[in-house]
Amino acid sequence: MSEKLLLECENLCVGYGPALVDEVSFSLSCGEVVALMGENGSGKSTLLKTFCGIVPPLGGNVRVCGESLENWNLRERAHHIALVRMSVESPARMTVQEFVSLGRSPYSGMLDSRSVEDDAIVQKSMELLDVESFAKRPLAELSDGERSRVYLAEAVAQQVDVLLLDEPNAFLDIPRSRALFRMLRNLVENRNMGIVVSTHSIEYAESYCDRIMVVNKGRARIAPAKNARAEGLFDWAEA
Partner 1 sequence: MSKVTGQGSPFLRNHRISICFAVLFTAIVVCCLLTLVTGKVSFGLADLLNALAEPGGEDVSHRIFWNLRVPRVVAAVLAGSALAVSGLSLQTVFRNPLCGPFVLGISSGASLGVAIALLAGMGFGHFGVLGAASVGAFAVTLVIMAIASCFTRSSVLLVAGLLFGYFIDALVSVIMAGSEAENLQVYVAWGMGSFGRLTIDSVYLFAGAVAVGLALVAGSIRYLNAARMGDDFARGLGVNVSVARKCVLLGSSILAGAATAFCGPVAFIGIAVPHLAYMLFKTTNHRVLIPGSACCGALLALVAGLFPVSVPLNAVLSVVGVPIILYVMLRGSKERV
Residue 34: beta bridge partners?
196, 211
Cβ of residue 73: shortest distance to partner 1, in angstroms? Answer: 8
Give, rounded to a whole angstrom, the gap between the first and last alpha carbons of the chain. 35
40 counts as binding partner 1 under rule CB under 8 A? no
For partner 1, the closer of residues 163 and 183 by Cβ is 163
17 counts as binding partner 1 under rule CB under 8 A? no
Cβ of residue 94: shortest distance to partner 1, in angstroms? Answer: 4
Per-position x/- string for 125-144, each x denoting binding to partner 1 as judged by CB under 8 A, each - no binding: -------------x-xx---
- Pinpoint the alpha helices (H) of 114-234: 116-128, 144-157, 174-191, 202-208, 225-228
The crossing angle, in degrees rounded to 10, of helices 144-157 and 116-128 is 140
Q: Which of 67, 70, 119, 235 contacts partner 1 by CB under 8 A?
A: 119
If we measure between CA atoms, which residue out of 60, 230, 39, 78 comes closest to residue 164? 78
Residues 71-100 that bind partner 1 (CB under 8 A): 73-79, 82-83, 85, 88-89, 91-95, 98-99
Which range in 5-13, 113-121, 190-198, 225-233 contacts partner 1 by CB under 8 A?
A: 113-121
Which range in 1-9, 101-109, 204-212, 218-226 contacts partner 1 by CB under 8 A?
A: 101-109
Number of H helices, E strands in the chain: 9, 10
CA 163 to chain CA centroid, Å, is 4
For partner 1, the closer of residues 94 and 230 by Cβ is 94
Cβ of residue 171: shortest distance to partner 1, in angstroms? Answer: 17
SS3 content of the chain, % helix, strand, coil (to 5): 40, 25, 35
Cα torsion angle, 146, 45, 192, 170, sign: negative
Summarize as ranges the residues that interact with partner 1 (CB under 8 A). 49, 52, 54, 73-79, 82-83, 85, 88-89, 91-95, 98-99, 102-103, 105-106, 108-116, 118-119, 138, 140-141, 158
